[in-house]
Chains A and B, each alone.
Chain A
Amino acid sequence: MADATTTEATELATLAGVIDKKMTRQLKQYLDLCARCAICKDACHQYVATQDVKYLPAYRAELIRRIYKKYFDKTGRFVPALYEGRDPDENLLDELYETTYACTGCRRCMYFCPFSIDTQFILSVAKAMLIAAGRGNEMLGQLADAAIFKGDNMEMFHDVIVDGFKDVEKEVQEITGDPTAEIPVDKQGADILYVALAGAHSIRPAAVIFHEAKESWTLSLFEAANYGFFFGDPVKARKIADRFMDEAVRLGVKEVVITECGHAYRVAEIFHEAWAGKKHPFKVTHVLEKIDAYIKDGRIKVSKAIELPITYHDPCQIGRNGGIFEQPRDIVKAISKDFRDMTPNRQEQWCCGGGGGIVAIDEMNEFRLKSGMKKVEQIRATGAKIVASPCENCRLQMEGLDEVHQLGVRIAAIMDLVVESMPLKGRDAAKV
């Protein structure tokens, strides 16, 4: 009996040790400072939609704080009861799993917090602890491993992938009416390495735009999506991003351009250098920054072809966490006649509820759609018929919301709308 208790105590202490291993000055301050004032309460779309305390940002962080107090904080070790210090036992881990993998990492709570406490950062430690306990989300873990496998065994995939690109290339030639239009792959010395998502939908419109802008570009063999980041394992996340970062170094490009995807941009622009511990020899930009510049420099022609009222949703990882607010708006304004912004917008934009990998977690589907309540209200208030947003997870979520709430809106990627607003020989001829 004594042995079982000792083993259990050792296991708990080992799990708690994850906090110590991940300890940084910022984490320590976030754990020490929180006054539990709960100003963050109404910042979280999940709490607002459910009124369930477990989704209150301060409470999500509190679960980690209570372990920290019991094991690592001097005062907490002296009088754990004062802080309700807890063990990372089964009950706590169950609760932690739900609150942590539900979090979309939008950091809206951090925006409103008087101490700017980064709940997502605290929850990254929670994910590390869940992974250490063998309780990381399986689906996200498998998707991450598959991406790493592809990177390690590229010779297996190379020809199949390039064949797929050739099919898209034919479509691009038809749309542009230019039989020489191409989708370059492995092109040494290109200016741009464009990193798309799996599937033609994020390659085709970009290829059309790059072709029309006469850009010197090449397409990455790897997709930008990073399930390692969602899973919560920075080593996996880094390996996944390394695939196209190494490709960029190999091809000697000047710029890595990330497709319309939220987390991939944040990973590439904000996190990767820190993970890799070295500076990139190239710039990282979002494809909408490029397209905005093409329009402003006159490198592509667009018309105000979109008549229907249109609104723009800031993906959290591109807006608040990525710093791109104006370029997508400028693009949408350049191609439409009736642009209506949501309220609130930009850094105060509500999260749609689809971030952080939650769209890949089936068991959270119902909850996820429920958590989009604020976004539904916002879209309704604009009266828009098109919602443009440059993040695949946002679009998936808002398509779901559209279906459930019968909003009657089209959820669109901005590149698609741009292509629709461009005069293109091939497509325009086919129309007539």
Chain B
Amino acid sequence: METYLQITSVWGVYLSIAVFVAGMAWRIWEWSTTPRSPIPLGMFPKPRTGTGRFFKMLKDTFIAPQSFRIEPWMWLAAMAFHIAALGAFVGHLRLIHEFPFLPSLLGEAGMNTFAAWSGSIAGVLMLGAILFWIARRTTGPYKTISVPEDYLLLALLFGVVIMGDHMRFVYGSIVHAATYREWFLSLLAFKPAFPVELTSSNVAFSLGTHMLFVDLFLIYFPFSKLVHTVGALASNYVRSE
């Protein structure tokens, strides 16, 4: 188990973060060094001012009202997933530092209950959206246009989320954020160490597997269609050029 954790939750973390950061930087560099299309590609109606365009870009990217109008269920799944993923990301910031105010407001037990609820909701929403996407992608016209990349990403995401949910639902009341924080801060200090509460319990396997999927997901991220996280801002801006 020690070796598994060493690979996925120590060296894997370092490697995947390095690849992710370098990969995204390379993508953005590639885009920014390719000359723009001389032809304006905007469509109407479009805002007259730069500020108007900027806000329309934000609206088109983060709310996508047109997509809602044409396919509400797909929009709902995508929104649920992205908001839950953002929530989960914010929740994971506790790995670095306990939230300010909240624990003193809720008390230690209250904080654990809050984390359990918010984490559970986010985890279930993400899982639901992923299952919806798997179902969608394996049927009808969606299946025909899908390529292995689509399935690989869904599989990696499924692994990340199912193991995250596993830790939330099975070990949520046993192992708390403070324990994981001890491990994560040790990584950040480049003095990797695992608290005994982790290594002495079966949660070590869950954490190791969660991290295995996270590592693979982050490594593949910059080389996949997931670059839409950054690129959608640019392409939606071009819409009102």
A positions within 8 Å CB-CB of B: 23-30, 32-39, 41-43, 51, 53, 56, 58-59, 62, 66, 74-75, 81-84, 107, 110-118, 121, 270-271, 274-275, 277, 319-323, 325, 346-348
Contact = CB atoms under 8 A, between A and B. Distances in A.
A83 B235 CA distance: 21
A112 B69 CA distance: 8
Interface stretch (B4-12, B84-92, B159-167, B220-228): B220-228
Interface in B30-68: 30-32, 34-41, 43-46, 60-61, 64, 66-67
25 contacts: A25-B34, A28-B30, A28-B34, A32-B225, A33-B227, A33-B231, A38-B141, A39-B67, A42-B70, A56-B145, A62-B145, A84-B147, A110-B43, A110-B239, A112-B66, A112-B69, A114-B61, A115-B236, A118-B238, A121-B41, A270-B40, A274-B38, A274-B40, A323-B45, A346-B45
A33 B232 contact: yes
Contacts of A66: 147
B38 A25 contact: no
A119 to B, nearest CB: 11
B35 A25 contact: yes
B144 interface: yes
Given A26-B37, A116-B238, A53 B141 contact: yes
Contacts of A51: 141
Interface of B: 27, 30-32, 34-41, 43-46, 60-61, 64, 66-67, 69-71, 74-75, 78, 141-142, 144-150, 152, 223-225, 227-228, 231-232, 234-236, 238-239
Contact of B70 (A39, A56, A321, A325): A39
Given A33-B235, A39-B70, A83-B147, A118 B78 contact: no
Given A38-B145, A82-B147, 7 more contacts: A25-B36, A26-B36, A26-B238, A29-B235, A56-B141, A114-B60, A323-B44
Contacts of B146: 36
A121 B37 contact: yes
Contacts of A59: 141, 144-145
B42 to A, nearest CB: 9
Query: Counting chain B CB atoms within 10 Å of each CB, which of A30, A113, A271, A348 scores highest?
Result: A113
Which secondary structure dominates chain B's binding surface? helix
Nearest to A270: B40
Contacts of B61: 114
Nearest to B153: A35
Name the residue in B32, B36, B67 with the highest tally of chain A Cβ atoms < 10 Å from its Cβ.
B67
A111 B46 CA distance: 12
Contacts of A35: 225, 228
A288 B31 CA distance: 40
Contact of A117 (B35, B69, B149, B235): B235
A56 to B, nearest CB: 6
A104 B108 CA distance: 62
Contacts of A116: 43, 60, 235-236, 238-239
Nearest to B27: A32
Nearest to A34: B225
A115 B231 contact: yes
Contact of A347 (B39, B44, B223): B44
Contacts of A319: 44
A43 B46 CA distance: 20
A45 B48 CA distance: 30
B37 A347 contact: no
Given A27-B37, A320-B44, A82 B239 contact: no
Contact of A325 (B44, B66, B150): B44
Contacts of A30: 235
Given A38-B145, A116-B235, A319-B44, A271 B39 contact: yes
A75 B219 CA distance: 12
Nearest to A117: B235
Contacts of B34: 23-25, 28
Contacts of A323: 44-46
A83 B231 contact: no
A113 to B, nearest CB: 7
Given A121-B37, A323-B45, A83 B149 contact: yes
A75 B19 CA distance: 13
Contacts of B145: 36, 38, 53, 56, 58-59, 62
A82 B152 CA distance: 8
A30 B45 CA distance: 21
B144 A113 contact: no
B74 A39 contact: yes
A118 B231 contact: no
A81 B70 contact: no
A75 B223 contact: yes
Contacts of B141: 38, 41, 51, 53, 56, 59
A54 to B, nearest CB: 9
Contacts of B148: 81-84
Contacts of B228: 33-35, 115
Contacts of A110: 43, 239
B36, B38, B66, most chain A CB atoms within 10 A: B66
Contacts of A53: 141, 144-145
Contacts of B38: 24, 274-275, 277
A29 B144 contact: no
A38 B78 contact: no
B238 A42 contact: no
A115 B35 CA distance: 20
Central interface residue in B46, B148, B238, by most chain A CB within 10 Å = B238
A43 B74 CA distance: 14
A57 to B, nearest CB: 10
A83 B60 CA distance: 27
Nearest to B34: A25
B78 A25 contact: no
Contacts of A39: 67, 70-71, 74-75
